[in-house]
Amino acid sequence: MDDAGKPPRAAVITVSDRSARGEREDLSGPEAVAALRVAGFDCDDAVVVPDGAESVERALAAMIAAGAGVIVTTGGTGLGPRDQTPEGTLRVIQREVPGIAEELRRIGAAEKPAGMLSRGVAGVAHGTLIVNLPGSPAAVRSGMPVVVSIARHAASQLAGEDH
């Protein structure tokens, strides 16, 4: 709960051309939303945007403006030509928090070697913690415990509270 007794706000952005076109159901976003809700965050359903740095940048800016204290993205962190979530995120964040991305990659690689290929980043922008997760539901299930384990503490620090 924040000072007003409300749960902290969180948001989830799924980055996928196919899901944005309605060709594939978004399975990763709902996984992240569920984990945030269980952790006590006020979180709307995931917003789906197409791949590309510009769409990620716009979606992140909108979520920050709407007051999200934590934003999780799913998808667009791989090596494909349209996988540009990290690039869009880097346009928005003011300071990186590399330990989060390093831990997510460590966990992913321990589960399967392809986990090393995730280029996701984490950082802060305008009082908001932003974390990129890969797009597979399994990677989101593995990564969300990391995110929720530090999200409240990070949000309170960003709000100027003592640590």
Q: What are phi and psi of 56, to 5 degrees?
A: -65, -45
Q: Residue 5: its pLDDT value, please?
A: 65
Q: Residue 1: its pLDDT value, please?
A: 47
DSSP 63-129: HHHTT-SEEEEES--SSSTT--HHHHHHHH-SEE-HHHHHHHHHHHHHH-GGGGG----EEEETTEE
Is 44 within the bounds of a domain?
A: yes
Is 3 within the bounds of a domain?
A: no
Domain count, the chain: 1
135 secondary structure, DSSP code? S
Q: pLDDT of the chain along its 163 residues, tens only? A: 445 567 889 999 999 999 999 999 999 999 999 999 999 999 999 999 999 999 999 999 999 999 999 999 999 999 999 999 999 999 999 999 999 999 999 999 999 999 999 999 999 999 999 999 999 999 999 999 999 999 999 988 888 887 6
Is 32 within 8 Å of 70 (Cβ atoms)?
Answer: no
CA distance 50 to 135: 13
CATH number of the domain at 72, please.
3.40.980.10
Is 35 within the bounds of a domain?
A: yes
CA distance 144 to 107: 11
Query: Which three-class secondary structure state does DSSP give residue 1?
Result: coil
Q: Residue 128: its pLDDT value, please?
A: 97
